[in-house]
Amino acid sequence: MQGLVTVFGGSGFVGRQVVRALAKAGYRVRVAVRQPNLAYRMRMLGDVGQIEVFQANVRNPASVARALNGAEACVNLVGVLWESGRQKFQSLHVMAAKTVAEAAAKAGVKHLVHVSALGANADSTSKYFRTKAEGEAAVREAFPGATIVRPSLVFGVDDKFFNKFAQIAALSPVVPLVGGDTRVQPVFVTDVAAVIAKAVTSPAAVGVTYELGGPTVYTMREIQQLILTETGRAKPLVALPWPIASLLGSLGDIQGSIIPWTPPVTSDQVEMLKTDNVAEHGLPGLAEAGVIGTAVEAVVPTYLYRYRKGGQYAETPAGAF
């Protein structure tokens, strides 16, 4: 069995696949999470004794240092898609990223992989993208050889992208469309995890920034139509003007701050949808990392069937994948 890799945020949607990929590659994995009692199933992703669940809070430098004790490599996946309670963009995307990078450098960790986001830009109107860029800068300053991974919209069985829009399509008489012409490049969660697992010990990945997008670029209108077709929902798409979308986003902000449920959309997500999210900046991607991109059409039907009338027993809608 190979050396120890500490994974912060390893119990999340992407994190679970990263832990699985690292375990499959033969690494010992320490999954650093705030609430270990909610992550006990992580041990089942590897052999007996291969995966350890460890209590750590990225806002607490001492606990971060303890989680890195004895680790040869580190992966930081901590982040949030919307703000609620103490889970703020600035504290998690910037301050926590800096804390992990500084602690990793001090502990003598050989490799650090920091997961950011495609679209990270210090000048973005989106706070999410701005803080992701600030976090990258903080990591580079503390750990110059860190590998930075910027995935586009990540999809998979438990994603908050296709599932959210499919749920809206199932419940609403019409489907609201925000940023219909905005282009996105969804990337499969297993492909993202493969890049991260490879980067953990690859000398070629040291100091490199990867932008990960899937094999196909879609507009948001095409994504919504794809979801409607796959789920068998013949409902009209209603394009929302930006002011109305922003108003709905503000209502989502209030919901997210009061109720611990995923809001349909937040004001910051509306800002994110004003900009294309495509890997076209000339940086290395899936191919350069040695990973073949998985098409949306090969995966989405395996989990969107549950939103059809009749669920898994429904006939495949005409025109679906």
Domains and CATH numbers, the chain: 4-154+187-212 (3.40.50.720)
The average pLDDT across 275-300 equals 95
Calpha distance 311→230 (Å, rounded): 12
The predicted structure's pLDDT at residue 295: 96
Inter-residue contact 32 to 78 (CB < 8 Å): no
Q: Looking at the predicted structure, is the pLDDT value of residue 310 above 80?
A: no
Residue 104 is predicted with a pLDDT of: 97
Amino acid at 45: L
Q: Token digits for 114?
A: 């920091």
Secondary element (H or E) of residue 151: strand 147-151
Phi and psi at residue 33, in whole multiples of 5°? -135, 160
pLDDT of residue 96: 96
Give me the pLDDT at residue 118, please.
Answer: 96
Q: Taking the CA atoms of the chain, what radius of gyration do you get in angstroms?
A: 20
What are the residue ranges of helices labelled H in the chain?
13-24, 61-67, 89, 96-107, 127-142, 162-171, 189-199, 220-231, 242-258, 267-272, 296-299, 301-304
For the chain, the straight-line distance linking the first and the last C-alpha, in angstroms and rounded, comes to 41
* Average pLDDT rounded to a whole number, residues 161-190: 93
Chain centroid to CA 78: how far?
9
Contact present, 36 and 93 (Cβ < 8 Å):
no
CA 94 – CA 25 distance, rounded (Å): 30
Q: Are 214 and 293 in contact (CB under 8 A)?
A: yes
Confidence check: pLDDT of 316 > 70? no
Polymer length of the chain: 321
pLDDT band of 130, cuts 50, 70, 90: very high
Give the SS3 label for residue 216. coil
Q: How confident is the model at residue 317 (pLDDT cuts 50, 70, 90)?
A: low
Instruction: Name the β-bridge partners of 111.
Output: 73
User: Exposure string (b/e) for 166-190, b if CB count within 10 Å is 16 or more?
Assistant: bbbbbeeeebbbbbbebbbbbbbbb
Helix or strand or coil: residue 30?
A: strand
What's the pLDDT score for residue 82? 86
Number of H helices, E strands in the chain: 12, 13
Q: What angle do CA 273, 197, 286 make, to 5 degrees?
A: 50
pLDDT tens-digit series, residues 191-217:
999 999 999 989 999 999 999 999 999
* pTM of the predicted model as reported, rounded to 2 decimal places: 0.93
Residue 320 pLDDT exceeds 80? no
Q: Which pLDDT band holds residue 309 (cuts at 50, 70, 90)?
A: confident
Q: 4: which DSSP letter?
A: E
CB-neighbour burial class of residue 161 (10 A; exposed 0-12, middle 13-18, buried 19+): middle
Output the pLDDT for position 321: 56
- Distance (Å, rounded) from C-alpha 24 to C-alpha 193? 11
Task: Give me the pLDDT at residue 239, please.
Answer: 93
* Residue 236, token pair as written in the block: 């009209």
Question: What percent of the chain stands above pLDDT 90?
Answer: 78
